[in-house]
């Protein structure tokens, strides 16, 4: 997209790095600016595995959505959905069933604008601007209510977003509010960064990230991430480092899975 900035929504400060665009940079997307690339590169210098981690996270999301589709889930609420890239949730869900419905939610105007562009004409998938810290507003939004029947099982996707919510904002309460809106048979797909795999590099990554991006990153230990699954039952293999969750092939599992710094799980309500 070099040179062509016509897609940039008004009011976006292209000189300040932000969460969605730094992630887009790691994933090899084109909706990021020099400020995002600088932070992305500074972190990759501390954690050379960063791009591989981001790609592994996206691949997990794809496997998890396929798993949910095979379990009969036909409606998905994806909060912190990000800037669309390859293997988007609606593409996977609607490949399984063209009538599958997807509501994407993000706080970032670039993610919203690009999602709207690629979803134009798709009656069953849409995006709303929303803040995970205010789950009630997301759940009662007209569009959520139109596309999602909360009396039926739903796939709730919270992929690498809860670590942007500070303890003081009680992410566990946020999750409980969302969980309580879900019908039995619903699923939670969650990924969260941890420092436990390799603490020194993880804490250095966190420091560099928080210096460059105003939305702060909060790495958590496994026990605190496990608490997000209260009221759900984890499916096999439980809460694991991202390459270990039902890999497509044993060849996809590196010897050092703990170095992927992201714990993921899928659980049934
Ligand atoms: C690391 S990206 C992950 C994107 C996507 N879930 C994925 O796995 O590819 C995190 C996303 O969460 C969004 N986000 C951060 N804080 C948020 C909040 N309070 N409410 C909604 N979205 C938020 C960011 O804008 C960003 O798009």
Residue carrying the six token digits 């060849």:
251
Among 133, 139, 164, the mutation site with the greatest number of ligand 1 atoms within 8 A of its Cβ is 164
pLDDT at 3: 62
- For 201-259, what is each residue's pLDDT tens digit? 999 999 999 999 999 999 999 999 999 999 999 999 999 999 999 999 988 898 888 88
**Pocket-forming residues, ligand 1, beta carbon under 6 Å:** 19-20, 23, 57-58, 61, 79-82, 106-108, 111, 131-133, 159-161, 164, 215
The answer to whether residue 4 scores a pLDDT higher than 80 is no
- For 59-92, what is each residue's pLDDT tens digit? 999 999 999 999 999 999 999 999 998 889 999 9
Q: How far is the CA of 199 from the centre of ligand 1 (A)?
A: 23
Domain residue ranges in the chain: 19-268
The answer to whether residue 2 scores a pLDDT higher than 70 is no
- Asked whether 69 and 97 are in contact (CB, 8 A), the reply is yes
| Homologous superfamily of the 19-268 domain (CATH) | Vaccinia Virus protein VP39 (3.40.50.150)
The mean pLDDT value for 25-48 works out to 95
- Asked whether 266 and 71 are in contact (CB, 8 A), the reply is no
Residue 94: partners with Cβ closer than 8 Å, 6 or more residues away: 100, 102, 122, 124, 125
User: Which protein residue's CA is at the shortest distance from atom 4 of ligand 1?
Assistant: 82
């Amino acid at each position: 997209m070099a040179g062509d900035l016509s897609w940039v929504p008004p009011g976006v400060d292209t000189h300040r790095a932000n969460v969605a665009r730094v992630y887009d940079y790691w994933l090899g997307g084109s909706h990021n600016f020099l400020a995002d690339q600088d932070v992305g590169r500074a972190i990759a210098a501390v954690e050379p595995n960063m791009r591989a981690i981001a790609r592994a996270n996206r691949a997990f999301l794809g496997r998890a959505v396929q798993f949910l589709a095979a379990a009969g889930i036909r409606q998905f609420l994806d909060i912190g959905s990000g800037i669309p890239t390859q293997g988007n949730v609606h593409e996977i869900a609607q490949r399984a069933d063209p009538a599958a419905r997807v509501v994407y939610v993000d706080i970032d105007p670039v993610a919203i604008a690009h999602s709207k562009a690629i979803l134009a004409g798709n009656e069953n998938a849409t995006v709303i601007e929303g803040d995970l810290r205010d789950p009630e507003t997301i759940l009662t939004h007209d569009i959520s209510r139109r596309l999602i029947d909360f009396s039926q099982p739903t796939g709730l996707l919270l992929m690498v977003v809860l670590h942007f919510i500070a303890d003081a904002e009680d992410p566990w309460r946020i999750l409980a509010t969302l969980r309580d809106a879900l019908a039995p048979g619903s699923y939670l797909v969650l990924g969260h960064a941890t420092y436990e795999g390799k603490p020194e590099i993880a804490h250095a990554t966190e420091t560099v990230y928080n210096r460059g991006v105003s939305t702060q990153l909060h790495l958590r230990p496994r026990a605190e991430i496990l608490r997000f699954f209260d009221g759900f039952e984890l499916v096999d293999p439980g809460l694991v480092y991202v390459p270990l969750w039902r890999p497509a092939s044993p060849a996809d599992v590196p010897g050092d899975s703990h170095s992927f710094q992201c714990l993921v799980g899928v659980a049934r309500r």
